Structure 1
Amino acid sequence: MIRIKYWIIIFSILGLGFLSVSTSAQHTEDKGHPLKVLSYNLRFGELASLEELAEFIKSENPDVVALQEVDVRTNRERAPHQNGKDFITELGFRTGMLTAYARTIDYSGGYYGIGILSKYPFEKTRKILLPVPEGSNEQRALLLADVELPTGQQFTFISTHLDHSSSKVRTIQAKAINKALKKIKQPLIIAGDFNGQPDSPEISKGMRNWLQACSPDFTIPSQNPKSKIDYIFYRPAKNWKVKNSYTPQVTLSDHLPVVAEMEIH
């Protein structure tokens, strides 16, 4: 009888140990991978040097960055200190991040478009042109990057910049965004300058199937913000958790950047 009780105790201890290990493993599996996202319209570097912009990005230590109004080898009268510079390559070099770039238009001897910086490698990148309906000012696009995390997880990160001409044009572009991204199965983040305020049709209706990760703070003009037109959206909810969001008060552009600290599960 004593020997039977002894083995019952031993098995009970082993069982508790196994339960403890299983619970610990489950807890580890549930813990998401942290990801800091930044989006910034650079205004083609008119108000700051590339060194200053890179230093700001480094100070925030983001994992991925969506950039808008990114010049490559242009010659602008309004920004002569940036003439001939390759913004995306130089920002990548100065921040130590990997780069992707999408030209949207030719401009003043070079290119004008959108970019992505990333700490992590890309499985692939691609550009999708957005519609240019009547009343549009210029061609706009999506830049998509499938980002590979050290955990083996992947997510699709998208930078965009919608037309500033009218809400009608942006609503058409928002519809095109949803159609273009509908078939992507892995977790998504889309960030950029949407040129629409939160109650505009292109945001309130056009992006209603997305969750917003950024703070509601105004983003333009940077010196005295009165409107919000810069966003970070994500989906699906089950793959993401937003830990924190804020709008850095930095005046290196006419826009304020937006930041979200997230976890991917």
Structure 2
Amino acid sequence: MMRYIKTLSLCLLFAVGVYAYARAEGIPTADSTARLKVLSYNLRFGELASLEELAAFIAAEDPDIVALQEVDCRTYRDRAPAQHGKDFATELAFRTGMIPAYGKTIPYAGGYYGIAILSKYPLAKVERIYLPKTVNGKEQRAVLVADVEYREGEYITFASTHLDYTHTDERQVQVEKLNGVLLNRPYPVIVAGDFNARPDAKEIGEGMAAWKTVSDLAPTVPASAPRNTIDYIFCYPKDRWDVGASTTHRVELSDHLPISAVVELKPSAHRPKKEK
């Protein structure tokens, strides 16, 4: 009996020690707030920097999850000869040690052009959903959606998107589709990307009103002399998310400046588990 009690005591002490270590190191525990660093970056198809330079920047920022736009896969662009034949998402994932997902939006220059996600954590489900394209639009756009298991048995939904640049009416219907796709998810949601609209545009001010804006809204384009804010990070539902540091990074590896935010997901009394 004494041996059993000693064994049980040691197990309890070990569990308490592991819990204390996790809390001290900022590792999420089952009853703690989850902290995530989110990065969003329009890469301009690698015209202005090598994949090694882009990966080095991402790795140095050490994000938990990344939304990428203007991501090529095996293209042969005249304007980016150094990137010919390269699979951006796979190479950036390899160089950063992250897990990739890629969503084609259009075939282009012998390969594909689209959006991507990089994640430190497992991706339980990934889907590419096309956004509406009307007579006002220039080309097909999409949202890439992933359920991310940020700790054992617990999930968020993360989305990367890139809206059309040609017309506000086009972006308004695309934002309406985004809301239809994302607002009824069973998990808390983050969407990030290049919305090609300023904060006072209808598609942002009204279309994204249900979301909490967690990026800092500093100008992001053009990178050399930023004048307009068109890149964003949003979270839903508002009352589940707090925002810590948010940054617009002054690095000229693209025509956009990358943005990041540290967000905290508050515990919920009801945590839905992943459907089998």
Fold shared by both chains (TM-score > 0.5): yes
- Bigger mean CA deviation after superposition, 180-189 or 44-53: 180-189
Within-5 A mapping of 1:93-172? 93-172=94-173
Shift of 1:176: 1.0
In the TM superposition, what are the counterparts of 1:16-165 in structure 2 within 5 Å? 31-165=32-166
Q: Return 89-98 or 236-245, whichever deviates more.
A: 236-245
SS of the aligned residue for 1:59 comes to helix
Tell me what 1:11 maps to: none
Q: How has the CA–CA distance of structure 1 residues 126 and 29 changed in structure 2, closer, same or farther, with 3 Å as cutoff?
A: closer
Q: Deviations over 1:19-49 (max 9, x none)?
A: xx9xxx9x97663111000000000000000
Superposed displacement of residue 264, structure 1? 1.6
Q: Distance in 2 between matches of 1:230 and 1:66?
A: 11
Q: Which amino acid aligns with 1:69?
A: E
Q: Is the 8 A contact 2:222 2:256 kept in 1?
A: yes
Aligned-partner residue type, residue 102 of structure 1: G
Q: How far apart are 1:151 and its partner, in Å?
A: 4.3
Unaligned runs of 5+ in 1: 1-20
In structure 1, what is the Cα distance between the partners aligned to 2:30 and 2:47?
Answer: 46
Deviation for aligned residue 1:154? 0.3
Q: What TM-score, normalized to structure 1?
A: 0.88
Counterpart of 1:149 in 2: which secondary structure?
A: strand
Tell me what 1:5 maps to. Answer: none
Please give the per-residue CA displacement for 1:47-86, whole angstroms capped at 9, x wherever unaligned.
0000000000000000000000000000011111111111
Kindly report structure 1 stretches of 4+ aligned residues shifted beyond 2 Å.
Answer: 27-31
**Superposed CA offset, 1:138-194 (max 9, x none):** 000010000002243200000000001111110111111111223212100000000
Contact 2:183–2:236 under 8 Å retained in 1: no
Paired positions, count? 242
CA distance in 2, matches of 1:56, 1:254: 15
Rg larger for = 1
TM-score normalized by structure 2? 0.85
1:7-26 Cα distance to aligned partner (Å, 9 max, x none) = xxxxxxxxxxxxxx9xxx9x
SS of 1:231's partner is strand
Q: Give the deviation of 1:203 after TM superposition.
A: 0.5
Partner AA of 2:212 in structure 1: L
Q: Give 3-state SS (helix, strand or coil) of 2:134's partner.
A: coil
Distance in 2, Cα, partners of 1:115 & 1:89:
10
Q: What is the aligned-residue RMSD (CA, Å)?
A: 1.7
Quote the Cα distance in structure 1 between the aligned partners of 2:173 and 2:74.
Answer: 31
Task: State how far apart, in whole Å, the 2-side matches of 1:77 and 1:198 are.
Answer: 34
